[in-house]
Amino acid sequence: MTRDTCPYAETPDATGDEVHWVKPELVAEIGFTE
Amino acid sequence: MVYPCVIKRCFPFLPFLLLRVQFDFGDPLRFTAHRNANGEQLYRSACRKGREGLIAKRADSPYLHSRSRHWLKFKCVNRQELLIGGYTDPGAAAAASAHYYSATMRMTRCVTPARSAPASIVEHCSNWARSWPQ
């Protein structure tokens, strides 16, 4: 399910780390606190 | 020693007030306002405003130099559905790309977790999402 480029219209700011892009097939529900 | 007990029963906040006037509050010592009622309402209000949560203390409990059951922490917990578009290796700084999942699945905007969401979390979520029934 990998691909070479960001699957979205806008590429988020990279932090210098290599990003592994994937086809946008999986949805995650994330709980978080601030 | 009956007298202090009567005082405490009649004026449960008196010790707090006495403590308060003993200090001049300025940096680095801050005075934090408190409320005596409507905790649940305040909690919901705090979460709506994007605050971290609430801290509660039994009004008549002493201040101890240790952990106690008289203090409670109520954290605001947020949740968001994200479409996974990429990930970084575990240990790398957060650069994972996720996309707000909407009913129409329009892909107009990438979202980078702003606050140090470790790549391992995204990886974990990826595994979690993979376990969904197809």
Digit-coded pLDDT (tens) for B24-67: 888 888 888 888 889 899 999 988 888 888 999 888 888 888 88
| Mean pLDDT (whole number) for B7-34 | 74
Q: Does A1 touch chain B (CB under 8 A)?
A: no
- Determine the pLDDT at residue B41: 92
Question: Residue A10: pLDDT above 60?
Answer: yes
| Mean pLDDT (whole number) for B73-96 | 70
Hey, are the CB atoms on B94 and A14 less than 8 Å from each other? Answer: no
Averaged pLDDT score across all residues of chain B: 66
Sheet containing B98-100: which strands, arranged edge to edge?
Answer: A27-32, B78-84, B98-100
Select the more confidently predicted residue: B89 or B91. Answer: B89
Hey, are the CB atoms on B89 and A17 less than 8 Å from each other? Answer: yes
Q: Does B129 touch chain A (CB under 8 A)?
A: yes
Q: What is the CA radius of gyration of chain B?
A: 23
Contacts of B78 (CB under 8 A, 6+ apart): A31, A32, A33, A34
- Determine the pLDDT at residue B79: 75
Select the more confidently predicted residue: B5 or B85. Answer: B85
User: Considering the entire predicted model, what is its pTM?
Assistant: 0.43
- Residue type, position A17, single letter: D
- Determine the pLDDT at residue B16: 62
